[in-house]
Amino acid sequence: MKKVLITNFGIVQFTGSEINTSTIAKRFKEIGYEVYLGVIETDAPLYDVVKENFDHVIYLLEDDFDFTRYRI
């Protein structure tokens, strides 16, 4: 399965980049990708609504994640 990493500062409020991030993730899932989300923070209300769009959530300041596996 192909994987994609999408990053955004946070998924908290219904604002521009956060809505775009979720919309992009949803489309990648529809075409068969495993979707990773890299963020600094998540919280209600938006994350509660869109969490099904992401297979994995990586908290960039807390998790030990190997970014070298991904190409830009």
At 63 the pLDDT is 65
**Are 4 and 30 a contacting pair, CB within 8 Å?**
no
Q: Is residue 31 over pLDDT 70?
A: yes
Instruction: State the burial class of residue 25 (Cβ atoms within 10 Å of its Cβ: 0-12, 13-18, 19+).
Output: buried
Share of residues in the chain with pLDDT > 90 (%): 62
What is the reported pTM? 0.82
Task: Tell me the C-alpha distance between 58 and 21, whole Å.
Answer: 14
